[in-house]
Structure 1
Amino acid sequence: MATWFITGVNSGFGRHLTEQLLERGERVAGTVRRAGSVDDLAAKYGDRLWVAHLDVTDLPGVRATVDRAFAELGRVDVVVSNAGYGLFGAAEELTDEQVIDQLNTNLLGSIAVVRAALPHLRAQGGGRLIQISTYGGQAANAGASLYHAGKWGIEGFLESVAKEVAPFGIGVTIVEPGGARTEFRFGSLQLATPLAAYDGTPAAMVRGAKDRSRPPLGDPAKMAARIIESAGQEPAPLRLVLGSDAYGFVTAALRERLAQIEPQRAVAASTDWADPQ
Structure 2
Amino acid sequence: MTMSMTLWRAGRSGMLMALLCGASGCETDQPTAPGPDTPAVLVGAGDIAVCGSDADEATALVLDTIAGMVFTTGDNAYEDGTAQEFTDCYHPTWGRHRSRTRPSPGNHDYHTSGAAGYYGYFGMSAGDPAEGYYSYDLGAWHIVAINSNIDLSASSPQLQWLVADLAANPTVCAAAYWHHPRFSSGMHGDDAGMQALWQVLYDAGVDLVLNGHDHDYERFAPQTPTGALDTQRGIREFVVGTGGRSLRNFATVAANSEIRNSDTHGVVKLSLYESRYEWEFVPVAGQAFRDSGSTDCHQ
TM-score, with structure 1 as normaliser: 0.36
Which has more strand, going by share of residues? 2
Which has more helix, going by share of residues? 1
Structure number with bigger Rg:
1
